[in-house]
């Protein structure tokens, strides 16, 4: 089997973000520079109990290659069943275990970053994924602890489970999205293990991306929230250009609009409103534009407005 993931150059990975990194958005960042795309977080529970909505979330665009599906779970038998379901779905190249989500409903359920508070449990669940996964890659997304920072311990446990790479958000669970990202902790993890380490957390622009790579010596960057409203960050990193033209931005926004309509049908125009709120940030007349957009249902009118505004 040929290796679809090439670590000889720093990789650019789209982080899974609930409610944002759906198929249309992933298709756009893939086209403009992301090396790897990952599904939104899928509950093992929902997958095993045959949720239709969950099945739809796994669908991928033809261009998404390699494509990884991220699951969350805390019971070995449920995780095993979820992995076996994914094994039967074509077009998936890897399965990622979420060990980092700080959301209370995920944490209180024993999944996500909760696993970082019980490394034996983390090892049990991740080993289960590795054991039953018939896809090419097994990966894990972690934070650096629950309340205390224990980055190196976490990295060593994850490595021992036989994963292909580890993605690290440089905050504890307690740090949510507010505390400063600890890039030293990511660097320490990189030095402690021999598998590739991907840095994640507050990589907000081209300059910051360069600094984080240099500081951590990571094998790649995972970008999530900074790509919402600015997916061209992948284009900038891929092509090594700091400044991006307004024309290129407009092209990317329209591409995203078309993909949303293709995937979600007529309702896509209404769904695209919240995305235009992000895209228009910092533009002159943005508040007025958002006001009008909030009342537009017609896709042709919306498209014209996008072309005129950006």
Contacts with 148 (C-beta within 8 Å, 6 or more apart), sequence order = 172
Residues 12, 223: contact at Cβ < 8 Å? yes
Annotated ligand binding at 229? The verdict is no
For the chain, the straight-line distance linking the first and the last C-alpha, in angstroms and rounded, comes to 44
Q: Which residues pair with 222 in a beta bridge?
A: 13, 200
Annotated ligand binding at 224? The verdict is yes
Annotated ligand binding at 84? The verdict is no
Annotated ligand binding at 143? The verdict is no
- Residue 79's φ and ψ, nearest 5 degrees, are -65, -45
SS (H, E, C) the chain: CCCCCCCCCCEEEECCCCCCCCHHHHHHHHHCCCCEEECCCEEHHHHHCCCHHHHHHHCCCCCCCCEEEEEECCCHHHHHHHHHHHHCCCCCCEEEEEECCCCHHHHCCCCHHHHHHCHHHHHHHHHHHHHHCCCCEEEEEECCCCCCCCHHHHHHHHHHCCCCEEEEECCCCCCCCCCCCCHHHHHHHHHHCCCCEEEECCCCCHHHHHHHHHHHCCCEEEECHHHCCCCHHHHHHHHCCCCCCHHHHHHHHHHHHHHHHHHHHHHHHHHHHHHHHHHCCCCCCHHHHHHHHCCCCCHHHHHHHHHHHC
Active-site amino acid positions: 101
Annotated ligand binding at 173? The verdict is no
Sequence ranges of the binding site for FMN: 70, 141, 169, 224-225
Sequence ranges of the binding site: 70, 141, 169, 224-225
């Amino acid at each position: 089997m040929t290796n679809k993931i090439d670590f000889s150059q720093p990789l650019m990975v789209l982080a899974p973000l609930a409610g944002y990194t759906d198929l249309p958005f992933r298709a756009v960042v893939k086209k403009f520079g992301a090396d790897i795309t990952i599904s939104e977080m899928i509950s093992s529970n929902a997958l095993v109990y045959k949720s239709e909505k969950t099945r739809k979330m796994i669908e991928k665009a033809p261009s998404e290659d390699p494509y990884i599906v991220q699951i969350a779970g805390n019971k070995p038998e449920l995780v095993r069943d979820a992995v076996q379901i994914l094994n039967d779905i074509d077009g998936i190249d890897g399965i990622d275990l979420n060990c980092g989500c700080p959301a209370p409903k995920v944490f209180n359920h024993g999944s996500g970053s909760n696993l970082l508070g019980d490394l034996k449990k983390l090892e049990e669940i991740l080993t289960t994924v590795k054991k039953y996964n018939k896809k090419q890659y097994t990966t894990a997304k972690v934070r650096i602890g629950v309340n205390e920072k224990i980055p190196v311990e976490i990295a060593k446990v994850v490595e021992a489970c036989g994963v292909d790479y580890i993605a690290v958000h440089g905050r504890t669970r307690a740090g949510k999205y507010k505390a400063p990202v600890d890039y030293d902790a990511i660097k320490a993890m990189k030095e402690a293990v021999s598998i590739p380490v991907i840095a994640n957390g507050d990589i907000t622009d081209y300059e910051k991306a360069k600094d984080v790579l240099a500081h951590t010596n990571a094998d790649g960057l995972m970008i999530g929230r900074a790509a919402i409203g600015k997916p061209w960050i992948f284009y900038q990193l891929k092509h090594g250009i700091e400044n991006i033209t307004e024309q290129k931005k407009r092209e990317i926004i329209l591409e995203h609009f078309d993909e949303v309509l293709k995937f979600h049908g007529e309702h896509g125009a209404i769904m695209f409103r919240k995305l235009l709120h992000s895209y228009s940030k910092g533009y002159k007349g943005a508040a007025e534009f958002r006001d009008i957009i909030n009342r537009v249902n017609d896709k042709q009118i919306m498209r014209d407005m996008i072309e005129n505004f950006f």
